[in-house]
Amino acid sequence: MRQRFGIAQAMLGSPKLVIVDEPTAGLDPEERVRFHNLLADIASDVVVILSTHIVSDVADLCSNFAVINKGRVLLTGEPGTFVAEIANRVWRKVVTKAEADALKAQVRVVSTRLQAGATVIRAYGQDAPGPGFEVAEADLEDVYFCTIAGYLAAPMAKAA
């Protein structure tokens, strides 16, 4: 309710720009969907700048995005363009923790996470980084991690 109230306050006076910071943090899934719909509705008439660490919010709501690390803008553009750019270049493998630590020294690791008690490593490369890796469906989180790691670099969008 506080987020919705804040948006209602922000809309007083018919602004041309609304900036929201971590607007869905702490919301349950049903309320997140409602809030996404509210932001999407507002964005049809107003420029909305969304600052968040929740990559799925960016994927769901943003037609343009920027990756910022340590105060530097590393990447800007359309999310789908960059996801398509790394398609068939993200690889996944279920490994033990010891294998994950060893692989980090050998391959371009994108991310490592526990899923249902198993360690899943995602790596970036033109070809499979080793035996047992399978191509993974790339997503915006992979774009983020590849950019931060320096595996993905693109020219900055030029201002019109």
The token pair at 100 is 């994950």
The Cα–Cα gap between 32 and 151 comes to 32
For this structure, is 137 an active site residue? no
* Token pair 């910071």: residue: 21
- Residue 133: CB atoms within 10 A of its CB come to 20
Active-site entry in 22, 30, 137, 141: 22
Report the catalytic residues: 22
